[in-house]
Every structure is written in C-alpha cells, then in structure tokens.
Amino acid sequence: MQNIKGNILIVDDNRSILSTLEILLSPLFQTVTAISNPNQIPAELRKNDYNLVILDMNFQAGVNTGNEGIFWLGKIKESNPDISVVMITAYGDINTAVMALKAGASDFILKPWDNEKLVATIKLAIQLNLSKKEVIKLKEREKGLKNEINRDQKSIIGSSPQLLDVLNMVRKVAKTDANVLITGENGTGKELVAQEIHRLSSRSGEVMVSVDMGALSETLFESELFGHMKGAFTDARENRQGKFEIAHRGTLFLDEIGNLSFHLQSKLLTAIQNRQITRIGSNEVIPTDIRLIFATNRNLEKLVHDGLFREDLLYRINTIQIELPPLRIRGNDIIVLAEFFLKKYSYKYNKPDQKINQLALEKLLKYSWPGNIRELQHTIEKAVILSESSILKPEDISLKYTTSISGNDAFTTLEEMERHMISEALRKHNGNLTAAAGQLGVTRQTLYNRLKKS
C-alpha cells in the first residue's frame, strides 16, 4: 500500500505510546518520527519539513495541568505558524484541550483512542496543512505574476516643459483614487502615462488591466468587461471573470473610450457608478474595488455636442483630465527619444555600435511627427534594420510623409500648414501657449482648441 503524503512528528514522554503510534502510523504515512523530550522540538522542526506534530499535553510525572503542552504548542506555532498540531490528552483534560484549540491546535486525540478515528483525525490535520501550503504557494505565484506584469513597464522619457507639466500632474493624481481621463493624439504615450499613475499609486502592488474599447464588438462587450457563467450563451464553455473582476484592488485602464457605442456607454456608466458588476448568466452582484483610468484621442466634448457620447458618462470619467502634448512641440525630447530607441534596437538587432549623425538628428527635428512617439520608434527601428553603416545618416531616416516643420517645405493641405505654424510658434516660445497665441494672432483658448483638434 502506498504511503499517504505527510510527515509526522510525535512528541510524548511515554515510550509505550510513542512505540504504539509509530507502529500504527509508519505504514500509512511518508515519514513518522518519534521523540520523548519536548526540548528537541525546535531542532527537529528545523531539520525536517513536517506537516503535523502529535503533541502530548503533559510531560512531567504527576502533572496534568496541560500547561506544558500549551507552552510547546505556542513555541511550535511561533516558528511554524502553518503546521498542524494535534494534542494527545486524557478524558479528564477536555477543558485544557479546548484551550489548546483556541491557542492554535488543529484537533485533539483522547486516551485511550480508537485507531480508525485517530488515523482519520491525522489525515484531516495533514490535509489542512497541505491546503495552507498550497494557498501560500498560490499567493506567492500571484504576487510574482503581478510583479512580472507591473515590471514590464516602459519609462517616460524626456525633459521638455510640456512633459514635465504632465508628470507633475501625474504625481499629484496618483496619490488619489480619482477617475482620470488622458487625452492626446495617437502615439503620444497615453497608456504609458496610465502605467505611471498606477506605478505611483497605493495600488502598485496589484495588476493594471488594459482594455482597448475600440476593439470590442457589441456582442463581446459585457462578457469581456463583466464576465459570464458557463452556458450563458453558445460559446460560454466555462465560467469566466471579466476585466472588472480581474482588476479588483488594482487599476483598470479603458483605452479609446471615445470609440464606445452610445448603446454600450450606459452599461459602462452603471458599472462605474455602482462599483459592482453582474456576470452574464448570473444574478450574483460582485462588488469591485478598482482605480479607473480612461484615454481617448477624440474630442469628447464635441461628441457630447453631436449626441454621440453621454454627458453623464463624460462627467464620471474626467474627474481629472491630463492632456498629452504632441511630439512636434516637445523640442529636444525628439532627440532624446531617438537616441533611446537607437540604443534599444541596436541591441535587439545585434548592431551595438550604431550612432546617429547631426544631419540625421536635424532631419528628425524638422519633421512634424503626425504619428508622434510611436512613429518615431518605428522610424528608428526601420533605420537600424536597413542601415549598412554604423552611422545613421539622413538618407537612412525614411519618413512616411514629406511634410516637416521647416519653412522651406511645401504643404499639401491648409491643415498641414496650420499645424506647421502652430508648431513653429510653440517651439519658438518653449511651449508657452499665451506667447504662441499672441504671435499667431489668436486667443489662447483658440490655440488650445486647435491643438486638441490637430
């Protein structure tokens, strides 16, 4: 017969009891060790990984108070809090045995015992210990996964006044649980800023869950965000947690919120207001404790005006709004980012000595970067891959559009010309909106609206 998983330490000064228990338990369990002196307990626990200690209540002749057993129970629990301890006691010591249970014992065995009941008690106590160990392993694994997920965060790079203003706002907002709306053009780093808010928050030890709202179809919306029960619909083959549940105690980042259909906005609003969800196919209400961050590249105020976005939802999601600056107005941040990406992709593609010359840098500075940081990243990666030299030159920098922020280039649309003029004015005045607006002959608010639109 195969031994049951479990290592047992028996502590009793009565050698006949030790022998009896050894004979009974040794064929049934992996390891059974017997000692008569309780002073050996600490050394024995350090030496082996025990699941269970069977401990006598009294060790001195003529003493039956049970205090010695309670004392050693405390010592065992102090060094091994998850180990199971079963006390051996005489019938008259029941009250003391109850005290032992309150002090942390798993159960007690009465003398004289019934062998079947004793083995059943021991099996349950060992199973309790194994369950505790499994829970600890799962918690450690969960913590490790959270650390791995949160570790895979990129740094926010740059030192322009516009970026520093954003980071200052991020530091203030991160300390709270306020809903945050991050706005800005595509490729400006909205998810990166969301990650930074999470990293600096009190929830940083938990996960940040990201959802691209623009990629969710009407049929998948509720299942993806709120979860479903097995059999709730045709393809629901098992119970599934939604993103709200997964992000519990952490941060939920809902990207491209402006792309959510009007019909689904009301369902999202209800979940945000009530801070609880119900899985599809279930009546159970599940409370959620999450930090909410939203992002969009669209003008939500205009969408509200056009009847495409709920005004009450807008008020809910933008307790704090952070506007990210386009790359074209961040000046030398373009160079800093370019050199960062150059180092990254030089290493990735085994070209460690790659450099970029001054003329190539000037070409990067003159370009308007309609795709912002994402476009710059792809441009540098492509240049590293295709370059046959260790020095990147202007001809190695392949730009998607011909427009630049150099006054010598032709523009194909009035919009491009306007963008160029705004960029030049902002660069000249180091991002100062008031000074730039004065140069352009418009109000500060008009300039701000044009920046949001562009």
Pairing label, strands 29-35, 4-11? parallel
Q: Over 70: is that where the pLDDT of 176 sits?
A: yes
Lowest pLDDT segment from 61-65, 279-283, 447-451: 61-65
- Which residue from 205, 206, 212 is spatially nearest to 191, judged by alpha carbons? 212
Q: Specify the pLDDT at position 401.
A: 67
Q: Over 50: is that where the pLDDT of 409 sits?
A: no
First-last CA distance in the chain: 77
Contacts within 8 Å (CB) and 24+ apart, 141-144:
143/205
Q: Find the angle CA(124)-CA(125)-CA(128) to the nearest 5 degrees.
A: 85
The pLDDT > 90 percentage for the chain reads 54
- pTM over 0.75? The answer is no
Mean local confidence (pLDDT), 245-252: 93
Q: Over 70: is that where the pLDDT of 405 sits?
A: no
Asked if residues 225 and 266 have their Cβ atoms less than 8 Å apart, the reply is no
Q: Specify the pLDDT at position 146.
A: 60
Residue 229: Cβ within 10 Å count: 16
Q: Specify the pLDDT at position 165.
A: 94
Q: Cα separation of 203 and 177, whole Å?
A: 9
Q: Specify the pLDDT at position 245.
A: 92
What rounded mean pLDDT belongs to the chain? Answer: 86
Is there a cis peptide before residue 352, judged by omega within 30 degrees of 0? no
Mean local confidence (pLDDT), 245-250: 92
For 65-102, write each residue's pLDDT tens digit: 678 888 899 999 988 888 999 988 776 567 777 888 88
The pLDDT > 70 percentage for the chain reads 88
What are the chain's domains? 4-135 (3.40.50.2300), 161-323 (3.40.50.300), 327-401 (1.10.8.60), 411-454 (1.10.10.60)
Q: In what order do the strands lie in the sheet with 208-212?
A: 208-212, 251-255, 291-296, 180-183, 320-323
Q: Over 70: is that where the pLDDT of 64 sits?
A: no
pLDDT bin (cut points 50, 70, 90) of residue 238 is confident
Q: Specify the pLDDT at position 453.
A: 63
pLDDT bin (cut points 50, 70, 90) of residue 454 is low
Q: Over 90: is that where the pLDDT of 413 sits?
A: no
pLDDT bin (cut points 50, 70, 90) of residue 407 is very low
For 363-373, write each residue's pLDDT tens digit: 999 999 999 99
Q: Specify the pLDDT at position 404.
A: 54
pLDDT bin (cut points 50, 70, 90) of residue 147 is low
Q: Over 80: is that where the pLDDT of 149 sits?
A: no
Mean local confidence (pLDDT), 245-268: 93
Instruction: Identify the residue with better confidence: 412 or 360.
Output: 360
Asked if residues 133 and 36 have their Cβ atoms less than 8 Å apart, the reply is no
What 3-state DSSP class applies to 185?
A: coil
Asked if residues 170 and 196 have their Cβ atoms less than 8 Å apart, the reply is yes
For 101-143, write each residue's pLDDT tens digit: 888 898 888 888 889 989 999 999 998 888 888 887 777 666 6
Lowest pLDDT segment from 75-89, 398-412, 415-429: 398-412
Residue 51: Cβ within 10 Å count: 24
Backbone phi, psi, residue 353, to 5°: -100, 15
- Which residue from 97, 75, 101 is spatially nearest to 88, judged by alpha carbons? 97
Q: What is the DSSP letter of 259?
A: G
Give DSSP secondary structure letters for 221-245: HHHHHHEE-TTSSTT--S-EE-HHH
Residue 171: Cβ within 10 Å count: 12
Q: Cα separation of 312 and 354, whole Å?
A: 52
Q: Specify the pLDDT at position 1.
A: 46
Q: Specify the pLDDT at position 187.
A: 92
Asked if residues 320 and 201 have their Cβ atoms less than 8 Å apart, the reply is no
pLDDT bin (cut points 50, 70, 90) of residue 205 is confident
Q: Which residues pair with 320 in a beta bridge?
A: 180
For 151-163, write each residue's pLDDT tens digit: 555 679 999 999 9
For 295-307, write each residue's pLDDT tens digit: 999 999 999 999 9
